[in-house]
A and B are shown apart, each in its own frame.
Chain A
Amino acid sequence: MSKPTIIVVGNGMVGYKFCEKLVSKTSAFNIIVFGEEPRRAYDRVHLSEYFAGKSADDLSMSTASWYVDHHIQLHLDDPIQEIDRFNKTVHSLNGIALSYDYLILATGSSAFVPDIPGIEKEGVFVYRTIEDLDLIKAYAVNAKNAAVMGGGLLGLEAAKALIDLGIKETHVIEFAPRLMPRQIDGAGSAMLQSKLNKLGLSIHLNKTTDCIAGGNKVEALRFIDDTLLAVDMLVISAGIRPRDELAKLAGLQVGTRGGIIVNERMQTSDNSIFAIGECALYDNMIYGLVAPGYEMADVVVSQLTGNVKSFHGFDMSTKLKLIGVDVASFGDAFIAEPACRTIVFDDTHKGIYKRINISNDGKLLLGGILIGDADAYNMLLQTVNNKIALPPNPEDMILGSRGGEQSEGAGVMSLPDDVLICSCEAVTKGDICGVINDGATDLDTIKKCTKAGTGCGGCVPMVKDLIAGTMKANGQYIKNVICEHFDYSRQELYDLVKINELKNYDLVLDHFGKGDGCETCKPLVASILSSLWNDLIVKQDTIQDSNDRYLANIQKGGTYSVVPRIPGGEITPEKLITIGQVAQKYGLYTKITGGQRIDMFGAHVSDLPLIWEELIDAGFESGHAYGKALRTVKSCVGSTWCRFGLHDSVSFAIEIEERYKGLRSPHKLKGGVSGCIRECAEAQSKDFGIIATEKGWNLYICGNGGSKPQHAQLLAADIDGKTLIRYLDRFLMFYIKTADPLTRTATWLNKMDGGMSYLKNVVINDSLSIACQLEEEMQLLVDSFHCEWKEVVNNPDLRKRFTHFVNAPGEKDPSVKFEGMREQVKAIW
């Protein structure tokens, strides 16, 4: 007997999730999918990231082989045109006719386009698919200003996309008196609006568009209050409309305002046809979020595999980051006095607004809104959904406990077992704790066993709290250990390696570890060995991260980039010419980096020794851009040329970069030297920053850029160059010896008991009596510096390792391909 056939109409997120859930449960069906779009299902929730640099492939929900691997027939670019319910057959645009036993409609929704005069003009777009985005992208090149119609969730996402595209002036037009009218209240909207204004968005509320003015192209929007707004393009994001036309044609029942009517089993008015996702109308409601869509998919999979599960509405609470601003709304966000009591925290200084609605008896949390800081969202949502009794001071829930006692993680541990922690994959606290009790104590294993945290990832912090809390409850000792192979912290292992004078990884593993090591402990031990003995890292190349193994940064497509050291950013014309010639010869893309040097991209692994041979001949050294090591010491022009400069910042930057070049550390290190307080070298955003004063130099430490920028703090003022270098020696060596792996100096300081005053005491007042030792250890590293590339270039055995194919050394990886862009190359992959 042949397998029953399931045809899925629509290959969006929910259609894909249905297939994924079904094949994970059973192989009893023959599955065929028809999609209207030309590409496989992709993550529409994160669509705006397409403009922020993600490719269509990055957004894809599956790999190309996934459907093949699971024996699913996939027809893309071929929408179903007709359902013949009598013969249980579907007909596609390309003329495919197939019969089904069950039909799953996952046709999704389209953008709702209001009927406004002029809506057909050129320059008016919707924001829904990757194709829409490509059209917007092409048109935006010539647009100076643009408007988004609709200030809801999707509209603001679209506005963010326009900013990312470089549109100078972006407007958001909302018909309601506030932004995101379905999620947040007026005060929350005002806070969000002030944040968005700062980012360059102009918000227009209470605006109804009367017509779109212009010739063939949109030129302006005219509102019913007779005002006019000149725009070059318009993106419509005024809501969604369920795609129910196919269902309607087939005579299935649809709602008066659209949507395919389904029962709690997601069945349409035809028993063998189901509808899921944004096309389905359950209890007069369209669920325009992905989590309820996934839940619907799960309900149908349950029906088909003989289990009983039904859909009873879905919590529409949401948390998202809109243009960098946290926005969350949960439970009954809008209920107001006298039906409840509200607690509001409104901080216009930091841009934080929090509102919680509690029952009149003060016992239960009913709902709320968070803008600017939504860290408490998960806990608050669980408190609403599980009717957990509120603490005596409910304001603690949004303000944090101030003075009272509350243990870390106790919040999530107090939840009942049936609480949904991961709503994307429907995983409960009981599921997760069960796995932890069975011995899984790391996030990866838990993701694998339960799928929790594999969707939007929003629950990952709670899962981590659950791991810590459950282990603690079981009496297990939680220690900050490196990985399963070493029961030590980095600092402990550093001391052990030093005292026992161990010089290679295998010895360290034999003495203090177990098993065969992994990608966490290998580079960590490599870094410790370098910081202690400064031996040539390529001698133990297979314990290095790929970048350190090949002494170059691996890039998309598998080629490497090459960054020679240019100390202080000073370079002679001759050396510039060499870089140009080398890049030309080996077909490399060149770009000036943020650290005042030149990066050459697109080098085949086998070309690396050839490239470096030429660079070294011209007097260059490795820039260690690939290592957790000193990168650059950036400098301003300084007193030699600049009319404001107090001291020669370039010479000092070069001296310092030459001193610490090649220094391996727990994370990368960056420095800067500015010749006056105008601070053109941006030294205060570096791990160490030096600024000239009338009397000498000020030394700042522990700053960084990156995702959490932090200013460096003043360690010592008006000191001379010699003292400064002594302090730097001590500070850097103390950091190298005591920091956790992959911890920048800023984070290291933030975690340090006693903070800056403690560190000052260690470095300046020598409170630990280790200053001399730190200086000696640093001097040893400075004296043993070697250029790794010079060693490789001059060593035939080491050179041999830079090949792609072991059995065809001259041949390059054929999967590496380039295309042209602005007269240079970029990788295709």
Chain B
Amino acid sequence: MEIAIDIDWALACYADDVPENGGVCMKHGNEQIAIYNFSRRGEWYATQNLCPHKQQMSLSRGMIGSVGELCEPKVACPFHKKTFSLLSGECLSGDDYKIKTYPVKVIDGRVYVGIV
């Protein structure tokens, strides 16, 4: 049986618009979505652009990296270096914040973000 998930794939940009191992910000209606090109691992991620710590629209400008034995991918907010998992959106710096994550797919050099 096929499970149908209602995902609306929004075209964000071309893959080469996004710097390697860095991020950009996409405008989707009134939402701001950060898209990360984790080229070192050949992976793409997307999260909300707003850092919940001080309510700054900043995560797309943060540095990405990994943490722990399992190399969990993460982004660090450029303001106060709060870090968030790119998989679960959970804050990895000991706070209770959680950010929204979105699925990403790249087809023919175009980057799409899944709006659930």
- The interface of chain A, by Cβ under 8 A from chain B, is 57, 63, 65-66, 69, 444-445, 447-448, 451, 454, 484-485, 506, 515-519, 521-523, 541-543, 545-547, 549-550, 554, 556-558, 800-801, 804-808, 811, 813-816, 829
For this complex, 17 residue pairs linking A to B, each with C-beta atoms less than 8 Å apart, are A57-B54, A448-B94, A451-B94, A485-B65, A515-B71, A516-B64, A516-B65, A518-B63, A518-B74, A519-B62, A519-B63, A523-B63, A543-B21, A546-B58, A558-B56, A806-B25, A807-B27
- The interface of chain B, by Cβ under 8 A from chain A, is 11-13, 17-22, 24-27, 30, 32, 35, 38, 40-41, 52, 54-58, 61-68, 71, 73-74, 76, 78-79, 81, 83, 92-94, 96-98
Contacts of A454 in B (CB 8 A): 94
Q: Which residue of A lies closest to B37 (CB)?
A: A542
Q: Which residue of A lies closest to B51 (CB)?
A: A558
If A454-B94, A516-B71, A554-B79 touch, does A806 touch B65 (CB 8 Å cutoff)? no
Whether B93 pairs with A805 at a CB distance below 8 angstroms is no
Contacts of B56 in A (CB 8 A): 556-558, 829
B66 CB to closest chain A CB (Å) equals 4
Whether A806 pairs with B66 at a CB distance below 8 angstroms is no
4 A-B pairs with least C-beta separation: A546-B78, A542-B22, A518-B65, A447-B94
Whether B13 pairs with A806 at a CB distance below 8 angstroms is yes
* Contacting residue for B26 out of A63, A522, A806, CB 8 A: A806
Whether B73 pairs with A63 at a CB distance below 8 angstroms is no
Whether B19 pairs with A65 at a CB distance below 8 angstroms is no
* Contacting residue for A516 out of B30, B66, B76, CB 8 A: B66
If A516-B41, A805-B25, A829-B55 touch, does A542 touch B63 (CB 8 Å cutoff)? yes
* Contacting residue for B61 out of A484, A515, A521, A549, CB 8 A: A549
In the complex the two chains form, what is the Cα distance from A57 to B52 in whole Å?
12
Whether A545 pairs with B78 at a CB distance below 8 angstroms is yes
Contacts of A815 in B (CB 8 A): 32, 57
Whether A517 pairs with B92 at a CB distance below 8 angstroms is no
If A542-B22, A807-B12 touch, does A63 touch B97 (CB 8 Å cutoff)? yes
Whether B57 pairs with A806 at a CB distance below 8 angstroms is no
In the complex the two chains form, what is the Cα distance from A808 to B98 in whole Å?
27
Q: Which residue of B lies closest to A518 (CB)?
A: B65
Contacts of A521 in B (CB 8 A): 65
Contacts of B24 in A (CB 8 A): 806
* Contacting residue for B27 out of A69, A519, A523, A808, CB 8 A: A808
Whether B38 pairs with A516 at a CB distance below 8 angstroms is yes
* Contacting residue for A484 out of B19, B35, B67, CB 8 A: B67
In the complex the two chains form, what is the Cα distance from A545 to B76 in whole Å?
10
Whether B40 pairs with A542 at a CB distance below 8 angstroms is no
Contacts of B26 in A (CB 8 A): 805-807
Whether B27 pairs with A542 at a CB distance below 8 angstroms is no
In the complex the two chains form, what is the Cα distance from A316 to B6 in whole Å?
57
Contacts of B41 in A (CB 8 A): 516
Contacts of B17 in A (CB 8 A): 800, 806
B25 CB to closest chain A CB (Å) equals 6
Contacts of A545 in B (CB 8 A): 63, 78
Question: Max chain B CB contacts within 10 Å: which of A523, A546, A556?
Answer: A546
Q: Which residue of A lies closest to B61 (CB)?
A: A546
Contacts of A484 in B (CB 8 A): 67-68
In the complex the two chains form, what is the Cα distance from A453 to B25 in whole Å?
34
Whether B12 pairs with A518 at a CB distance below 8 angstroms is no
Whether A543 pairs with B93 at a CB distance below 8 angstroms is no
Whether A806 pairs with B78 at a CB distance below 8 angstroms is no
Contacts of B68 in A (CB 8 A): 484
B37 CB to closest chain A CB (Å) equals 9
In the complex the two chains form, what is the Cα distance from A807 to B98 in whole Å?
26
Contacts of A557 in B (CB 8 A): 56
A604 CB to closest chain B CB (Å) equals 12
Contacts of A550 in B (CB 8 A): 61
A11 CB to closest chain B CB (Å) equals 18
If A518-B66, A542-B22, A805-B27 touch, does A558 touch B58 (CB 8 Å cutoff)? yes
In the complex the two chains form, what is the Cα distance from A550 to B63 in whole Å?
13
B42 CB to closest chain A CB (Å) equals 11
In the complex the two chains form, what is the Cα distance from A521 to B12 in whole Å?
30
Contacts of A807 in B (CB 8 A): 11-13, 26-27
In the complex the two chains form, what is the Cα distance from A710 to B22 in whole Å?
39
Contacts of B54 in A (CB 8 A): 57, 829
If A542-B22, A554-B78, A801-B19 touch, does A515 touch B66 (CB 8 Å cutoff)? yes
